[in-house]
A and B are shown apart, each in its own frame.
Chain A
Amino acid sequence: MVIEIIEKILLLSGMVALGFIIGMFFNGFARKVTARIHNRVGPPIYQGYLDVFKLFAKKTNISHGWIFDLAALFSVAGIALAFLFLPVAGISLLSTEGDLFLILYLLAIPALGFALGAGASGNPNAAVGIMRALMLMLAYELPLVMVIVAMMVHYNTTSLATLVQMQSNFKWALFVPQFFIGAIIVDMALQGMLMEKPFDIAIAPHEIASGPMVEFGGKHLGALMLYKMMAIVVETTLFVDLFLGGGVVLSVEQYGWIAYLVNFLVWFALITFVFFLALLINAVFPRFRIEQALKFYWKYDALAALLLLIWVYAGVSI
Protein backbone atom coordinates (compact mmCIF):
# COMPACT_ATOMS: atom_id res chain seq x y z
CA MET A 1 0.00 0.00 0.00
CA VAL A 2 2.63 2.49 1.14
CA ILE A 3 4.99 1.37 -1.59
CA GLU A 4 2.26 1.87 -4.16
CA ILE A 5 1.67 5.40 -2.98
CA ILE A 6 5.38 6.21 -3.02
CA GLU A 7 5.64 4.70 -6.47
CA LYS A 8 2.77 6.85 -7.69
CA ILE A 9 4.27 10.01 -6.19
CA LEU A 10 7.62 9.28 -7.79
CA LEU A 11 5.97 8.68 -11.14
CA LEU A 12 3.99 11.91 -10.91
CA SER A 13 6.98 14.03 -9.95
CA GLY A 14 9.04 12.37 -12.66
CA MET A 15 6.37 13.27 -15.18
CA VAL A 16 6.31 16.90 -14.03
CA ALA A 17 10.10 17.08 -14.24
CA LEU A 18 9.94 15.66 -17.74
CA GLY A 19 7.43 18.32 -18.69
CA PHE A 20 9.71 21.06 -17.40
CA ILE A 21 12.75 19.65 -19.18
CA ILE A 22 10.89 19.46 -22.49
CA GLY A 23 9.42 22.91 -21.92
CA MET A 24 12.85 24.43 -21.35
CA PHE A 25 14.09 22.73 -24.49
CA PHE A 26 11.18 24.27 -26.38
CA ASN A 27 12.19 27.75 -25.26
CA GLY A 28 15.61 27.42 -26.84
CA PHE A 29 14.13 25.66 -29.84
CA ALA A 30 11.65 28.50 -30.40
CA ARG A 31 14.34 31.14 -30.22
CA LYS A 32 16.62 29.22 -32.55
CA VAL A 33 13.87 28.66 -35.14
CA THR A 34 12.78 32.31 -35.00
CA ALA A 35 16.40 33.42 -35.35
CA ARG A 36 16.95 31.22 -38.39
CA ILE A 37 13.82 32.65 -40.02
CA HIS A 38 15.17 36.14 -39.31
CA ASN A 39 18.46 35.10 -40.96
CA ARG A 40 20.30 35.23 -37.64
CA VAL A 41 22.41 32.59 -35.94
CA GLY A 42 20.38 32.59 -32.77
CA PRO A 43 21.18 31.33 -29.28
CA PRO A 44 22.28 27.77 -28.58
CA ILE A 45 19.43 25.29 -28.39
CA TYR A 46 19.96 24.77 -24.64
CA GLN A 47 19.44 28.48 -23.95
CA GLY A 48 16.18 27.80 -22.06
CA TYR A 49 18.02 25.82 -19.36
CA LEU A 50 20.57 28.61 -18.94
CA ASP A 51 17.89 31.27 -18.66
CA VAL A 52 15.91 29.44 -15.99
CA PHE A 53 19.07 28.62 -14.04
CA LYS A 54 20.19 32.22 -14.16
CA LEU A 55 16.82 33.53 -13.05
CA PHE A 56 16.76 31.19 -10.05
CA ALA A 57 20.34 32.15 -9.21
CA LYS A 58 19.41 35.84 -9.09
CA LYS A 59 18.69 37.60 -5.84
CA THR A 60 15.27 39.02 -5.14
CA ASN A 61 15.48 42.67 -4.19
CA ILE A 62 11.81 43.49 -4.49
CA SER A 63 8.62 41.77 -3.51
CA HIS A 64 5.06 43.03 -3.56
CA GLY A 65 3.63 40.96 -0.72
CA TRP A 66 2.83 37.29 -0.28
CA ILE A 67 0.18 37.10 -2.99
CA PHE A 68 2.80 38.27 -5.47
CA ASP A 69 5.26 35.66 -4.16
CA LEU A 70 2.77 32.81 -4.33
CA ALA A 71 1.12 33.71 -7.63
CA ALA A 72 3.95 32.36 -9.77
CA LEU A 73 3.93 29.11 -7.78
CA PHE A 74 0.17 28.95 -8.21
CA SER A 75 0.63 29.14 -11.99
CA VAL A 76 3.34 26.48 -12.03
CA ALA A 77 1.29 24.14 -9.84
CA GLY A 78 -1.82 24.64 -11.97
CA ILE A 79 -0.05 23.88 -15.22
CA ALA A 80 1.74 20.87 -13.72
CA LEU A 81 -1.62 19.47 -12.57
CA ALA A 82 -3.07 19.99 -16.04
CA PHE A 83 -0.09 18.14 -17.50
CA LEU A 84 -0.66 15.18 -15.20
CA PHE A 85 -4.26 14.85 -16.35
CA LEU A 86 -3.23 14.63 -20.00
CA PRO A 87 -2.37 11.29 -21.55
CA VAL A 88 1.27 11.58 -22.63
CA ALA A 89 2.21 9.00 -25.25
CA GLY A 90 -0.71 6.88 -24.08
CA ILE A 91 0.31 7.01 -20.41
CA SER A 92 -2.31 8.76 -18.33
CA LEU A 93 -1.43 8.93 -14.66
CA LEU A 94 -4.39 10.80 -13.20
CA SER A 95 -6.91 10.25 -15.96
CA THR A 96 -10.52 9.62 -14.99
CA GLU A 97 -13.90 9.61 -16.65
CA GLY A 98 -14.90 13.09 -17.84
CA ASP A 99 -11.41 14.56 -17.70
CA LEU A 100 -11.96 16.53 -20.90
CA PHE A 101 -14.09 18.96 -18.90
CA LEU A 102 -11.62 18.96 -16.07
CA ILE A 103 -8.72 19.88 -18.35
CA LEU A 104 -10.60 22.86 -19.72
CA TYR A 105 -10.97 24.10 -16.13
CA LEU A 106 -7.39 23.30 -15.20
CA LEU A 107 -6.11 25.27 -18.16
CA ALA A 108 -7.77 28.37 -16.71
CA ILE A 109 -6.10 28.06 -13.28
CA PRO A 110 -2.58 29.14 -14.29
CA ALA A 111 -3.95 32.16 -16.10
CA LEU A 112 -5.73 33.13 -12.89
CA GLY A 113 -2.48 32.73 -10.96
CA PHE A 114 -0.88 34.98 -13.47
CA ALA A 115 -3.69 37.48 -12.93
CA LEU A 116 -3.25 37.35 -9.15
CA GLY A 117 0.42 38.16 -9.42
CA ALA A 118 -0.18 40.93 -11.90
CA GLY A 119 -2.89 42.40 -9.71
CA ALA A 120 -0.71 42.28 -6.59
CA SER A 121 2.12 44.09 -8.35
CA GLY A 122 -0.11 47.12 -8.85
CA ASN A 123 1.52 48.11 -12.11
CA PRO A 124 -0.87 49.66 -14.66
CA ASN A 125 0.88 47.85 -17.53
CA ALA A 126 0.26 44.57 -15.74
CA ALA A 127 -3.41 45.43 -15.30
CA VAL A 128 -3.77 46.19 -19.01
CA GLY A 129 -1.89 43.02 -19.90
CA ILE A 130 -3.90 40.72 -17.70
CA MET A 131 -7.15 42.24 -18.90
CA ARG A 132 -6.07 41.43 -22.44
CA ALA A 133 -4.93 37.92 -21.47
CA LEU A 134 -8.27 37.05 -19.87
CA MET A 135 -10.17 38.57 -22.79
CA LEU A 136 -8.10 36.50 -25.20
CA MET A 137 -8.83 33.39 -23.14
CA LEU A 138 -12.52 34.14 -23.40
CA ALA A 139 -12.09 34.53 -27.15
CA TYR A 140 -10.25 31.32 -27.99
CA GLU A 141 -12.09 29.07 -25.54
CA LEU A 142 -15.38 29.40 -27.40
CA PRO A 143 -14.25 27.67 -30.65
CA LEU A 144 -12.06 25.27 -28.67
CA VAL A 145 -14.90 24.11 -26.45
CA MET A 146 -17.25 23.76 -29.40
CA VAL A 147 -14.84 21.53 -31.27
CA ILE A 148 -14.20 19.46 -28.16
CA VAL A 149 -17.97 19.04 -27.64
CA ALA A 150 -18.25 17.93 -31.26
CA MET A 151 -15.55 15.32 -30.60
CA MET A 152 -17.34 14.13 -27.49
CA VAL A 153 -20.52 13.67 -29.53
CA HIS A 154 -18.74 11.90 -32.36
CA TYR A 155 -16.68 9.53 -30.25
CA ASN A 156 -19.32 9.27 -27.51
CA THR A 157 -16.85 9.71 -24.67
CA THR A 158 -15.74 12.42 -22.25
CA SER A 159 -12.47 10.75 -21.33
CA LEU A 160 -9.33 11.90 -23.05
CA ALA A 161 -7.65 8.52 -22.42
CA THR A 162 -10.51 6.72 -24.17
CA LEU A 163 -10.30 9.20 -27.02
CA VAL A 164 -6.60 8.45 -27.44
CA GLN A 165 -7.31 4.72 -27.28
CA MET A 166 -9.96 4.99 -29.99
CA GLN A 167 -7.47 6.72 -32.26
CA SER A 168 -4.84 3.98 -32.01
CA ASN A 169 -3.69 2.11 -35.12
CA PHE A 170 -3.53 5.44 -36.97
CA LYS A 171 -7.29 6.02 -36.88
CA TRP A 172 -6.47 9.63 -36.06
CA ALA A 173 -9.23 12.17 -35.73
CA LEU A 174 -7.31 14.26 -38.24
CA PHE A 175 -8.23 11.77 -40.97
CA VAL A 176 -11.96 12.12 -40.25
CA PRO A 177 -13.14 14.90 -42.61
CA GLN A 178 -15.08 16.76 -39.91
CA PHE A 179 -12.16 16.85 -37.56
CA PHE A 180 -9.66 17.83 -40.19
CA ILE A 181 -11.54 21.12 -40.18
CA GLY A 182 -11.77 20.86 -36.40
CA ALA A 183 -7.99 20.53 -36.20
CA ILE A 184 -7.55 23.72 -38.22
CA ILE A 185 -9.97 25.55 -35.91
CA VAL A 186 -8.21 24.29 -32.78
CA ASP A 187 -4.82 25.13 -34.27
CA MET A 188 -5.97 28.74 -34.54
CA ALA A 189 -7.10 28.61 -30.92
CA LEU A 190 -3.75 27.03 -30.04
CA GLN A 191 -1.96 30.05 -31.49
CA GLY A 192 -3.83 32.16 -28.97
CA MET A 193 -3.25 29.71 -26.12
CA LEU A 194 0.48 29.71 -26.78
CA MET A 195 0.34 33.53 -26.97
CA GLU A 196 2.37 33.52 -30.14
CA LYS A 197 1.93 36.22 -32.75
CA PRO A 198 -0.50 37.40 -34.00
CA PHE A 199 -2.04 36.77 -30.57
CA ASP A 200 0.75 37.91 -28.24
CA ILE A 201 -1.45 40.82 -27.27
CA ALA A 202 -1.17 40.15 -23.55
CA ILE A 203 2.64 40.17 -23.51
CA ALA A 204 3.39 42.83 -26.17
CA PRO A 205 6.89 43.81 -24.98
CA HIS A 206 7.09 46.90 -27.16
CA GLU A 207 3.74 48.19 -26.16
CA ILE A 208 2.94 47.47 -22.52
CA ALA A 209 6.40 46.29 -21.40
CA SER A 210 5.64 42.55 -21.31
CA GLY A 211 2.26 43.05 -19.66
CA PRO A 212 1.52 40.85 -16.63
CA MET A 213 5.20 40.03 -16.14
CA VAL A 214 6.25 43.66 -15.90
CA GLU A 215 6.99 43.59 -12.16
CA PHE A 216 8.38 40.07 -12.03
CA GLY A 217 12.11 39.63 -11.78
CA GLY A 218 14.62 37.08 -10.58
CA LYS A 219 13.11 33.99 -9.00
CA HIS A 220 9.53 35.14 -9.56
CA LEU A 221 10.20 35.51 -13.27
CA GLY A 222 11.94 32.14 -13.26
CA ALA A 223 8.81 30.48 -11.92
CA LEU A 224 6.67 32.31 -14.45
CA MET A 225 8.99 31.22 -17.25
CA LEU A 226 8.71 27.63 -16.08
CA TYR A 227 4.95 28.01 -16.25
CA LYS A 228 5.10 29.45 -19.75
CA MET A 229 7.44 26.71 -20.94
CA MET A 230 5.30 23.97 -19.39
CA ALA A 231 2.21 25.58 -20.91
CA ILE A 232 3.68 25.02 -24.37
CA VAL A 233 4.03 21.30 -23.63
CA VAL A 234 0.54 21.04 -22.14
CA GLU A 235 -1.21 22.87 -24.94
CA THR A 236 0.56 21.09 -27.78
CA THR A 237 -0.03 17.75 -26.02
CA LEU A 238 -3.72 18.56 -25.79
CA PHE A 239 -3.77 19.13 -29.54
CA VAL A 240 -1.84 15.92 -30.23
CA ASP A 241 -4.13 13.94 -27.92
CA LEU A 242 -7.24 15.30 -29.58
CA PHE A 243 -6.31 14.95 -33.23
CA LEU A 244 -3.08 12.99 -33.66
CA GLY A 245 -3.79 9.97 -31.49
CA GLY A 246 -1.58 11.14 -28.63
CA GLY A 247 1.50 9.71 -30.30
CA VAL A 248 0.47 6.08 -29.65
CA VAL A 249 1.81 3.94 -32.49
CA LEU A 250 2.71 0.64 -30.81
CA SER A 251 0.52 -1.17 -28.32
CA VAL A 252 2.08 -1.80 -24.94
CA GLU A 253 0.61 -5.32 -24.64
CA GLN A 254 2.40 -6.46 -27.77
CA TYR A 255 5.81 -4.81 -27.55
CA GLY A 256 6.41 -4.13 -23.86
CA TRP A 257 8.86 -1.40 -22.88
CA ILE A 258 9.93 -0.72 -26.50
CA ALA A 259 6.39 0.49 -27.11
CA TYR A 260 6.74 3.04 -24.28
CA LEU A 261 9.96 4.34 -25.77
CA VAL A 262 8.70 4.53 -29.35
CA ASN A 263 5.39 6.09 -28.31
CA PHE A 264 7.22 8.68 -26.26
CA LEU A 265 9.50 9.58 -29.15
CA VAL A 266 6.56 9.86 -31.55
CA TRP A 267 4.67 12.02 -29.06
CA PHE A 268 7.71 14.26 -28.70
CA ALA A 269 8.10 14.55 -32.48
CA LEU A 270 4.42 15.40 -32.87
CA ILE A 271 4.33 18.12 -30.21
CA THR A 272 7.52 19.58 -31.65
CA PHE A 273 5.90 19.64 -35.06
CA VAL A 274 2.74 21.33 -33.77
CA PHE A 275 4.83 23.90 -31.92
CA PHE A 276 6.98 24.39 -35.01
CA LEU A 277 3.89 25.29 -37.04
CA ALA A 278 2.92 27.87 -34.42
CA LEU A 279 6.46 29.28 -34.54
CA LEU A 280 6.37 29.67 -38.29
CA ILE A 281 3.20 31.74 -37.97
CA ASN A 282 4.74 33.63 -35.06
CA ALA A 283 7.88 34.59 -36.95
CA VAL A 284 6.20 36.33 -39.86
CA PHE A 285 3.08 37.96 -38.42
CA PRO A 286 2.61 41.30 -36.72
CA ARG A 287 0.38 41.65 -33.69
CA PHE A 288 -3.41 41.93 -33.61
CA ARG A 289 -5.17 44.43 -31.44
CA ILE A 290 -7.38 42.84 -28.80
CA GLU A 291 -10.64 43.64 -30.57
CA GLN A 292 -9.28 42.27 -33.84
CA ALA A 293 -8.35 39.03 -32.07
CA LEU A 294 -11.79 38.85 -30.51
CA LYS A 295 -13.39 39.43 -33.89
CA PHE A 296 -11.18 36.80 -35.51
CA TYR A 297 -12.07 34.15 -32.96
CA TRP A 298 -15.75 34.89 -32.59
CA LYS A 299 -16.56 35.70 -36.18
CA TYR A 300 -14.61 33.11 -38.19
CA ASP A 301 -13.28 30.50 -35.80
CA ALA A 302 -16.38 30.17 -33.65
CA LEU A 303 -18.70 30.25 -36.66
CA ALA A 304 -16.74 27.43 -38.30
CA ALA A 305 -16.81 25.51 -35.03
CA LEU A 306 -20.56 25.98 -34.78
CA LEU A 307 -21.09 24.65 -38.33
CA LEU A 308 -18.82 21.74 -37.45
CA LEU A 309 -20.89 21.01 -34.35
CA ILE A 310 -24.09 20.96 -36.43
CA TRP A 311 -22.44 18.71 -39.00
CA VAL A 312 -21.34 16.25 -36.34
CA TYR A 313 -24.79 16.24 -34.71
CA ALA A 314 -26.43 15.58 -38.09
CA GLY A 315 -23.90 12.82 -38.81
CA VAL A 316 -24.73 11.15 -35.51
CA SER A 317 -28.50 11.20 -36.04
CA ILE A 318 -28.18 9.71 -39.53
Chain B
Amino acid sequence: MRNEDWKKISRLVSKRSLWMVHFCTGCGAMEMPPVMTSRYDMERFGMHAMATPRQADILLITGYLAVKTLKRVVQVYEQMQDPKYVIGFGSCTINGGMYWDSYNTIKDLSKYIPVDLYIAGCMPRPEAIMDAFLKLMDMIDKGEAIGWKKYRKYYDQYKRNQRMAFAYRLDEVKEIKEDDAK
Protein backbone atom coordinates (compact mmCIF):
# COMPACT_ATOMS: atom_id res chain seq x y z
CA MET B 1 0.00 0.00 0.00
CA ARG B 2 2.72 2.46 0.94
CA ASN B 3 4.61 1.58 -2.23
CA GLU B 4 1.46 2.34 -4.23
CA ASP B 5 1.13 5.75 -2.59
CA TRP B 6 4.74 6.50 -3.31
CA LYS B 7 4.26 5.62 -6.98
CA LYS B 8 1.20 7.84 -7.12
CA ILE B 9 3.08 10.83 -5.74
CA SER B 10 6.02 10.20 -8.01
CA ARG B 11 3.73 10.11 -11.04
CA LEU B 12 1.97 13.25 -9.90
CA VAL B 13 5.27 15.13 -9.77
CA SER B 14 6.90 13.50 -12.78
CA LYS B 15 4.17 14.55 -15.13
CA ARG B 16 4.93 18.19 -14.44
CA SER B 17 8.58 17.79 -15.36
CA LEU B 18 8.83 15.96 -18.66
CA TRP B 19 11.99 16.44 -20.64
CA MET B 20 12.07 15.31 -24.17
CA VAL B 21 14.46 14.48 -26.89
CA HIS B 22 13.02 14.92 -30.33
CA PHE B 23 14.12 12.67 -33.07
CA CYS B 24 13.59 15.03 -35.96
CA THR B 25 13.01 13.10 -39.13
CA GLY B 26 10.81 14.36 -41.91
CA CYS B 27 9.00 17.65 -41.81
CA GLY B 28 7.68 17.37 -38.24
CA ALA B 29 10.65 19.23 -36.82
CA MET B 30 9.17 22.35 -38.38
CA GLU B 31 6.24 22.35 -35.98
CA MET B 32 8.40 22.19 -32.87
CA PRO B 33 9.86 25.75 -32.78
CA PRO B 34 6.42 27.40 -32.37
CA VAL B 35 5.60 24.92 -29.63
CA MET B 36 8.77 25.76 -27.76
CA THR B 37 8.86 29.51 -28.24
CA SER B 38 6.68 32.35 -27.06
CA ARG B 39 3.53 31.59 -29.05
CA TYR B 40 2.68 28.24 -27.44
CA ASP B 41 5.47 27.89 -24.85
CA MET B 42 5.51 24.28 -23.68
CA GLU B 43 7.76 25.23 -20.76
CA ARG B 44 4.56 26.26 -18.98
CA PHE B 45 4.08 22.55 -18.29
CA GLY B 46 7.69 22.14 -17.21
CA MET B 47 8.62 20.50 -20.49
CA HIS B 48 11.72 21.38 -22.35
CA ALA B 49 14.02 19.88 -24.92
CA MET B 50 17.02 17.94 -23.69
CA ALA B 51 20.21 17.42 -25.58
CA THR B 52 20.70 13.70 -25.02
CA PRO B 53 18.46 10.64 -24.65
CA ARG B 54 20.02 9.81 -21.28
CA GLN B 55 18.45 12.87 -19.71
CA ALA B 56 15.09 12.68 -21.44
CA ASP B 57 11.70 11.21 -20.53
CA ILE B 58 9.88 11.60 -23.83
CA LEU B 59 11.03 10.43 -27.21
CA LEU B 60 9.20 12.44 -29.84
CA ILE B 61 9.46 11.02 -33.34
CA THR B 62 8.42 13.63 -35.81
CA GLY B 63 7.94 11.88 -39.10
CA TYR B 64 8.69 8.95 -41.37
CA LEU B 65 11.35 6.45 -40.42
CA ALA B 66 13.52 4.66 -42.92
CA VAL B 67 14.76 1.29 -41.78
CA LYS B 68 18.23 2.71 -41.30
CA THR B 69 16.77 5.47 -39.13
CA LEU B 70 14.77 2.93 -37.15
CA LYS B 71 18.03 1.32 -36.05
CA ARG B 72 19.08 4.65 -34.55
CA VAL B 73 15.67 5.20 -32.98
CA VAL B 74 15.82 1.84 -31.24
CA GLN B 75 19.29 2.71 -29.99
CA VAL B 76 18.10 6.08 -28.69
CA TYR B 77 15.06 4.50 -27.07
CA GLU B 78 17.13 1.88 -25.30
CA GLN B 79 19.52 4.52 -24.00
CA MET B 80 16.75 6.36 -22.19
CA GLN B 81 16.17 5.79 -18.50
CA ASP B 82 12.89 4.35 -17.24
CA PRO B 83 10.16 5.54 -17.09
CA LYS B 84 10.15 6.70 -20.68
CA TYR B 85 7.39 7.61 -23.08
CA VAL B 86 7.18 7.66 -26.87
CA ILE B 87 5.02 10.03 -28.88
CA GLY B 88 4.53 9.24 -32.55
CA PHE B 89 3.97 12.44 -34.42
CA GLY B 90 2.10 12.75 -37.71
CA SER B 91 0.53 10.13 -39.93
CA CYS B 92 3.94 8.85 -41.08
CA THR B 93 4.43 7.05 -37.79
CA ILE B 94 0.88 5.69 -37.76
CA ASN B 95 0.62 4.03 -41.18
CA GLY B 96 3.37 5.47 -43.30
CA GLY B 97 1.36 8.51 -44.36
CA MET B 98 2.35 9.66 -47.81
CA TYR B 99 5.11 7.04 -47.76
CA TRP B 100 2.61 4.19 -47.54
CA ASP B 101 4.12 2.46 -50.59
CA SER B 102 7.75 3.34 -50.07
CA TYR B 103 10.10 0.35 -50.13
CA ASN B 104 12.24 1.74 -47.35
CA THR B 105 10.08 3.36 -44.67
CA ILE B 106 8.42 1.45 -41.89
CA LYS B 107 4.68 1.83 -41.77
CA ASP B 108 3.64 1.29 -38.17
CA LEU B 109 6.00 2.47 -35.46
CA SER B 110 4.26 0.57 -32.67
CA LYS B 111 5.39 -2.72 -34.18
CA TYR B 112 8.99 -1.89 -33.33
CA ILE B 113 8.89 0.24 -30.17
CA PRO B 114 5.95 0.81 -27.82
CA VAL B 115 4.20 4.07 -28.61
CA ASP B 116 2.20 5.68 -25.82
CA LEU B 117 0.47 8.30 -27.89
CA TYR B 118 -0.01 9.13 -31.54
CA ILE B 119 -0.74 12.58 -32.91
CA ALA B 120 -2.68 12.29 -36.15
CA GLY B 121 -2.34 14.81 -38.94
CA CYS B 122 -0.04 15.73 -41.73
CA MET B 123 1.20 17.98 -40.17
CA PRO B 124 -0.40 18.27 -36.75
CA ARG B 125 -0.84 21.89 -35.71
CA PRO B 126 0.94 23.14 -32.58
CA GLU B 127 -2.42 23.10 -30.78
CA ALA B 128 -2.65 19.38 -31.44
CA ILE B 129 0.84 18.89 -30.05
CA MET B 130 0.03 20.82 -26.89
CA ASP B 131 -3.14 18.79 -26.54
CA ALA B 132 -1.13 15.60 -26.89
CA PHE B 133 1.26 16.71 -24.16
CA LEU B 134 -1.63 17.38 -21.82
CA LYS B 135 -3.13 14.02 -22.72
CA LEU B 136 0.17 12.31 -21.99
CA MET B 137 0.35 14.04 -18.61
CA ASP B 138 -3.13 12.80 -17.87
CA MET B 139 -2.16 9.29 -18.90
CA ILE B 140 0.93 9.37 -16.71
CA ASP B 141 -1.15 10.56 -13.80
CA LYS B 142 -3.59 7.68 -14.23
CA GLY B 143 -0.76 5.22 -14.77
CA GLU B 144 -1.80 4.36 -18.32
CA ALA B 145 1.43 5.35 -20.05
CA ILE B 146 3.18 2.04 -19.55
CA GLY B 147 4.96 1.65 -22.87
CA TRP B 148 8.31 1.17 -21.15
CA LYS B 149 6.89 -1.72 -19.13
CA LYS B 150 5.46 -3.26 -22.28
CA TYR B 151 8.85 -3.06 -23.97
CA ARG B 152 10.35 -5.08 -21.12
CA LYS B 153 7.52 -7.58 -21.01
CA TYR B 154 7.27 -8.24 -24.77
CA TYR B 155 10.93 -7.64 -25.48
CA ASP B 156 11.24 -10.78 -27.60
CA GLN B 157 8.37 -9.74 -29.86
CA TYR B 158 9.70 -6.22 -30.35
CA LYS B 159 13.18 -7.55 -31.04
CA ARG B 160 11.82 -10.10 -33.52
CA ASN B 161 9.99 -7.37 -35.44
CA GLN B 162 13.05 -5.13 -35.41
CA ARG B 163 15.26 -7.92 -36.69
CA MET B 164 12.77 -8.71 -39.44
CA ALA B 165 12.68 -5.10 -40.58
CA PHE B 166 16.45 -4.65 -40.43
CA ALA B 167 17.01 -7.70 -42.62
CA TYR B 168 14.31 -6.68 -45.16
CA ARG B 169 13.23 -10.29 -45.05
CA LEU B 170 10.13 -12.13 -43.89
CA ASP B 171 10.41 -15.88 -43.62
CA GLU B 172 6.69 -16.37 -44.23
CA VAL B 173 6.80 -14.45 -47.48
CA LYS B 174 7.98 -16.77 -50.22
CA GLU B 175 7.46 -14.53 -53.24
CA ILE B 176 10.30 -12.19 -52.39
CA LYS B 177 12.65 -15.12 -52.22
CA GLU B 178 11.53 -16.29 -55.65
CA ASP B 179 12.13 -12.79 -56.97
CA ASP B 180 15.60 -13.07 -55.55
CA ALA B 181 16.32 -16.28 -57.35
CA LYS B 182 15.49 -14.66 -60.66
Contact = CB atoms under 8 A, between A and B. Distances in A.
A and B touch in the complex (CB under 8 A): yes
Given A43-B43, A62-B79, A57 B54 contact: no
Interface string A20-58: 000000000001000100111111100100110110011
A50 B43 contact: no
Interface stretch (B11-19, B89-97, B112-120, B169-177): B11-19
Contacts of B54: 62, 214-217, 221
A42 B13 contact: no
A40 B82 contact: no
A221 B52 CA distance: 12
A315 interface: no
A152 interface: no
A292 to B, nearest CB: 22
B55 A61 contact: no
A60 B81 contact: yes
Contacts of B55: 210, 213, 216-217, 221
B33 interface: no
A58 B17 CA distance: 12
B102 interface: no
A38 B39 CA distance: 11
B41 A58 contact: no
Interface in B153-178: none
B17 A54 contact: yes
A50 B16 contact: yes
Contacts of B44: 40-43
Contacts, number: 83
B80 interface: yes
Given A40-B44, A53-B17, A214-B54, 10 more contacts: A35-B41, A38-B37, A42-B41, A50-B46, A61-B81, A62-B54, A215-B52, A216-B55, A217-B54, A221-B55
Nearest to A31: B43
Interchain residue pairs A-B with the least CB separation, the first 7: A217-B54, A59-B82, A205-B51, A209-B51, A57-B10, A218-B81, A210-B51
B44 to A, nearest CB: 5
A206 interface: yes
A59 B81 contact: yes
Nearest to B49: A205
Contacts of A215: 52, 54
A210 B52 contact: yes
Interface in A193-225: 205-206, 209-210, 213-218, 221
A32 B139 CA distance: 26
Given A41-B44, A53-B13, A206 B38 contact: no
Nearest to B18: A54
Contacts of A210: 50-52, 55
B43 A40 contact: yes
21 contacts: A40-B37, A40-B44, A41-B44, A53-B17, A54-B13, A57-B13, A57-B14, A58-B57, A58-B81, A59-B83, A61-B82, A209-B52, A210-B50, A210-B55, A213-B55, A214-B51, A214-B52, A216-B55, A217-B54, A217-B80, A221-B55
